[in-house]
Structure 1
Amino acid sequence: MTRRIFRYVPFTIVQDATAEPEYEARCVSGDDSECGAESGVWPHPAEVEEWQRKHTQETGHTRYRRNFADYAVMEPLDGLPTGLEPARVTRVRAS
Protein backbone atom coordinates (compact mmCIF):
# COMPACT_ATOMS: atom_id res chain seq x y z
CA MET A 1 0.00 0.00 0.00
CA THR A 2 1.35 3.41 -0.99
CA ARG A 3 1.20 6.17 1.58
CA ARG A 4 0.70 9.77 0.55
CA ILE A 5 1.04 12.94 2.53
CA PHE A 6 -1.08 15.89 1.52
CA ARG A 7 -0.07 19.32 2.73
CA TYR A 8 -2.53 22.16 3.17
CA VAL A 9 -1.58 25.19 1.11
CA PRO A 10 -3.68 28.34 1.65
CA PHE A 11 -4.96 29.74 -1.65
CA THR A 12 -6.68 32.90 -2.77
CA ILE A 13 -9.02 33.15 -5.74
CA VAL A 14 -8.20 35.92 -8.23
CA GLN A 15 -9.51 36.97 -11.62
CA ASP A 16 -7.36 35.55 -14.43
CA ALA A 17 -5.63 38.57 -15.96
CA THR A 18 -4.92 36.65 -19.18
CA ALA A 19 -8.63 36.30 -20.06
CA GLU A 20 -11.13 39.08 -20.75
CA PRO A 21 -14.30 39.12 -18.65
CA GLU A 22 -17.57 38.92 -20.57
CA TYR A 23 -20.68 41.07 -20.17
CA GLU A 24 -24.05 40.61 -21.86
CA ALA A 25 -27.75 41.36 -21.43
CA ARG A 26 -31.04 39.91 -22.66
CA CYS A 27 -34.34 41.77 -22.76
CA VAL A 28 -36.90 39.98 -20.56
CA SER A 29 -39.69 42.54 -21.01
CA GLY A 30 -43.05 41.30 -22.20
CA ASP A 31 -46.44 40.28 -20.87
CA ASP A 32 -46.97 36.82 -22.34
CA SER A 33 -43.41 36.05 -23.36
CA GLU A 34 -39.98 37.65 -23.12
CA CYS A 35 -38.70 39.88 -25.93
CA GLY A 36 -35.48 37.84 -26.01
CA ALA A 37 -33.33 40.45 -27.79
CA GLU A 38 -29.67 40.06 -26.81
CA SER A 39 -26.76 42.49 -26.62
CA GLY A 40 -24.12 39.96 -27.57
CA VAL A 41 -20.97 39.43 -25.51
CA TRP A 42 -18.72 42.42 -24.79
CA PRO A 43 -15.45 42.84 -22.83
CA HIS A 44 -16.77 45.87 -20.90
CA PRO A 45 -20.18 46.69 -19.38
CA ALA A 46 -20.38 50.11 -21.10
CA GLU A 47 -21.18 48.53 -24.49
CA VAL A 48 -23.94 46.43 -22.95
CA GLU A 49 -25.43 49.44 -21.13
CA GLU A 50 -25.42 51.41 -24.39
CA TRP A 51 -27.23 48.54 -26.13
CA GLN A 52 -29.82 48.52 -23.31
CA ARG A 53 -30.39 52.29 -23.69
CA LYS A 54 -30.89 51.97 -27.46
CA HIS A 55 -33.18 48.93 -27.10
CA THR A 56 -35.31 50.80 -24.53
CA GLN A 57 -35.53 53.84 -26.84
CA GLU A 58 -36.60 51.66 -29.78
CA THR A 59 -39.03 49.36 -27.95
CA GLY A 60 -39.97 50.90 -24.60
CA HIS A 61 -38.74 47.71 -22.91
CA THR A 62 -37.17 48.31 -19.50
CA ARG A 63 -36.34 44.92 -17.95
CA TYR A 64 -33.09 43.08 -18.68
CA ARG A 65 -31.24 40.05 -17.41
CA ARG A 66 -27.53 40.84 -17.22
CA ASN A 67 -24.75 38.25 -17.13
CA PHE A 68 -21.12 38.57 -16.15
CA ALA A 69 -18.55 35.83 -16.63
CA ASP A 70 -14.85 35.65 -15.96
CA TYR A 71 -12.11 33.13 -15.35
CA ALA A 72 -10.60 32.64 -11.93
CA VAL A 73 -7.33 31.09 -10.84
CA MET A 74 -6.28 29.70 -7.49
CA GLU A 75 -3.02 31.21 -6.29
CA PRO A 76 -1.11 30.13 -3.20
CA LEU A 77 -0.93 32.98 -0.70
CA ASP A 78 2.83 32.67 -0.24
CA GLY A 79 3.79 30.94 -3.48
CA LEU A 80 4.18 27.20 -3.81
CA PRO A 81 6.13 25.35 -1.13
CA THR A 82 9.58 24.26 -2.26
CA GLY A 83 9.51 21.18 -4.48
CA LEU A 84 5.82 21.38 -5.39
CA GLU A 85 4.36 22.25 -8.77
CA PRO A 86 0.77 23.06 -9.70
CA ALA A 87 -1.23 20.08 -10.96
CA ARG A 88 -1.30 19.69 -14.72
CA VAL A 89 -4.37 18.35 -16.51
CA THR A 90 -4.34 16.71 -19.90
CA ARG A 91 -7.77 16.70 -21.49
CA VAL A 92 -8.71 13.79 -23.69
CA ARG A 93 -11.65 14.08 -26.05
CA ALA A 94 -13.94 11.12 -26.36
CA SER A 95 -14.14 9.78 -29.89
Structure 2
Amino acid sequence: MTRRRFRYVPFTIEQDQTAEPEYDARCVSGDETECGAESGTHSGPEPVEEWQRKHTQETGHRRYRRNFGDYAVMRPPAQLAELVRADGGTA
Protein backbone atom coordinates (compact mmCIF):
# COMPACT_ATOMS: atom_id res chain seq x y z
CA MET A 1 0.00 0.00 0.00
CA THR A 2 1.34 3.40 -1.02
CA ARG A 3 1.15 6.20 1.51
CA ARG A 4 0.70 9.74 0.35
CA ARG A 5 1.20 12.91 2.29
CA PHE A 6 -0.83 15.92 1.33
CA ARG A 7 0.29 19.35 2.40
CA TYR A 8 -1.75 22.52 2.53
CA VAL A 9 -0.88 24.78 -0.39
CA PRO A 10 -2.25 28.34 -0.21
CA PHE A 11 -3.67 28.62 -3.74
CA THR A 12 -5.36 31.86 -4.70
CA ILE A 13 -8.58 31.96 -6.68
CA GLU A 14 -8.60 34.42 -9.57
CA GLN A 15 -11.10 35.31 -12.23
CA ASP A 16 -10.05 33.74 -15.54
CA GLN A 17 -9.28 36.74 -17.74
CA THR A 18 -9.45 34.60 -20.91
CA ALA A 19 -13.20 33.96 -20.49
CA GLU A 20 -15.95 36.57 -20.48
CA PRO A 21 -18.27 36.72 -17.47
CA GLU A 22 -22.00 36.24 -18.02
CA TYR A 23 -24.86 38.39 -16.73
CA ASP A 24 -28.60 37.79 -16.95
CA ALA A 25 -31.86 38.54 -15.13
CA ARG A 26 -35.32 37.02 -14.83
CA CYS A 27 -38.46 38.82 -13.74
CA VAL A 28 -39.82 37.19 -10.58
CA SER A 29 -42.68 39.63 -10.04
CA GLY A 30 -46.08 38.14 -9.44
CA ASP A 31 -48.25 37.07 -6.53
CA GLU A 32 -48.92 33.42 -7.29
CA THR A 33 -46.73 32.84 -10.33
CA GLU A 34 -43.60 34.60 -11.52
CA CYS A 35 -43.62 36.61 -14.74
CA GLY A 36 -40.60 34.64 -15.97
CA ALA A 37 -39.48 37.10 -18.66
CA GLU A 38 -35.71 36.89 -19.19
CA SER A 39 -33.06 39.33 -20.34
CA GLY A 40 -30.90 36.81 -22.13
CA THR A 41 -27.20 36.35 -21.37
CA HIS A 42 -24.76 39.22 -21.90
CA SER A 43 -21.04 39.80 -21.34
CA GLY A 44 -21.64 42.92 -19.24
CA PRO A 45 -24.28 44.17 -16.79
CA GLU A 46 -25.40 47.22 -18.83
CA PRO A 47 -27.67 45.42 -21.35
CA VAL A 48 -29.29 43.46 -18.52
CA GLU A 49 -29.95 46.61 -16.49
CA GLU A 50 -31.41 48.34 -19.55
CA TRP A 51 -33.69 45.33 -20.16
CA GLN A 52 -34.86 45.55 -16.52
CA ARG A 53 -35.67 49.27 -16.92
CA LYS A 54 -37.68 48.65 -20.10
CA HIS A 55 -39.49 45.64 -18.64
CA THR A 56 -40.45 47.68 -15.58
CA GLN A 57 -41.69 50.55 -17.76
CA GLU A 58 -43.77 48.17 -19.89
CA THR A 59 -45.19 45.98 -17.11
CA GLY A 60 -44.73 47.74 -13.78
CA HIS A 61 -42.82 44.69 -12.53
CA ARG A 62 -40.07 45.59 -10.07
CA ARG A 63 -38.53 42.35 -8.75
CA TYR A 64 -35.75 40.49 -10.58
CA ARG A 65 -33.45 37.54 -9.99
CA ARG A 66 -30.01 38.55 -11.28
CA ASN A 67 -27.25 36.08 -12.08
CA PHE A 68 -23.53 36.55 -12.58
CA GLY A 69 -21.27 33.77 -13.72
CA ASP A 70 -17.58 33.63 -14.38
CA TYR A 71 -14.70 31.18 -14.61
CA ALA A 72 -12.07 30.84 -11.91
CA VAL A 73 -8.46 29.69 -12.02
CA MET A 74 -6.59 28.26 -9.04
CA ARG A 75 -3.09 29.77 -8.85
CA PRO A 76 -0.37 28.19 -6.73
CA PRO A 77 2.06 30.45 -4.86
CA ALA A 78 4.89 31.72 -7.08
CA GLN A 79 7.53 29.58 -5.37
CA LEU A 80 5.53 26.38 -5.95
CA ALA A 81 4.91 27.29 -9.58
CA GLU A 82 8.67 27.79 -10.04
CA LEU A 83 9.42 24.38 -8.48
CA VAL A 84 6.94 22.64 -10.76
CA ARG A 85 8.38 24.38 -13.84
CA ALA A 86 11.91 23.45 -12.76
CA ASP A 87 10.82 19.79 -12.59
CA GLY A 88 9.42 20.02 -16.11
CA GLY A 89 5.76 20.03 -15.10
CA THR A 90 3.14 22.72 -15.44
CA ALA A 91 1.76 24.89 -12.69
Alignment correspondent of 1:75: 75
Q: Deviations over 1:58-88 (max 9, x none)?
A: 11101100000000010012151412534xx
Unaligned stretches of 5+ in structure 2?
none
Asked whether 1:85 is paired with 2:90, we answer yes
Shift of 1:10: 1.8
Q: Percent identity?
A: 71
Shift of 1:31: 1.5
**In 2 relative to 1, CA 81–9 (structure 1 residues): closer, same or farther, beyond 3 Å?**
farther
Alignment of 1:43-62 (within 5 A): 43-62=43-62
Higher helix share: 2
Shift of 1:7: 4.2
**Aligned partners of 1:57 and 1:17: how far apart in 2?**
35
Amino acid at match of 1:39: S
Taking structure 1 as the reference length, what is the TM-score of the superposition? 0.80
CA RMSD of aligned residues (A): 1.7
Taking structure 2 as the reference length, what is the TM-score of the superposition? 0.83
The alignment covers a number of residue pairs equal to: 86
